[in-house]
Amino acid sequence: AQTVTQSQPEMSVQEAETVTLSCTYDTSESDYYLFWYKQPPSRQMILVIRQEAYKQQNATENRFSVNFQKAAKSFSLKISDSQLGDAAMYFCAYTTYNQGGKLIFGQGTELSVKP
């Protein structure tokens, strides 16, 4: 079965500090794409960062970066210089080349940011 596991239901970080959210996935496919989405209380899912499995270099978007370990099937998200606006639910997801874009999501990690 294709699954995504986020082992941290809740995380907390102090403003301006760094936090890492964990994600592992399970697929037998070799060509797939990984995503981190953010969902604030407004419910709007927003793409934070994406990674193509064939790329060895870890993706980076401003304060957000990933640690992609393909052999371990691990895809963690690092948020640097955390801001109050980063508080949200974060979902890890993936899709494979032949799934038409269908996303498989983890259960989510709720991140709180303390001032």
Partner 1 sequence: GAGVSQSPSNKVTEKGKDVELRCDPISGHTALYWYRQSLGQGLEFLIYFQGNSAPDKSGLPSDRFSAERTGGSVSTLTIQRTQQEDSAVYLCASSLLMWGRETQYFGPGTRLLVL
Q: Which residues bind partner 1 (CB under 8 A)?
A: 31-33, 35, 37, 42-47, 50, 52, 91, 93, 95-108
Supply the minimum distance, in Å, between the C-beta of residue 73 and partner 1: 17
Supply the minimum distance, in Å, between the C-beta of residue 33 and partner 1: 5
CB-nearer residue toward partner 1: 18 or 60: 60
CB-nearer residue toward partner 1: 35 or 87: 35
Sign for the CA dihedral angle at 90, 102, 75, 47 comes to negative
- 114 and 93 in contact (C-beta within 8 Å)? no
- 81 and 32 in contact (C-beta within 8 Å)? no
Q: Would you give the DSSP letter of residue 99?
A: G
CB-nearer residue toward partner 1: 102 or 114: 102
What gap in Å lies between CA 77 and CA 73, rounded to an integer?
13
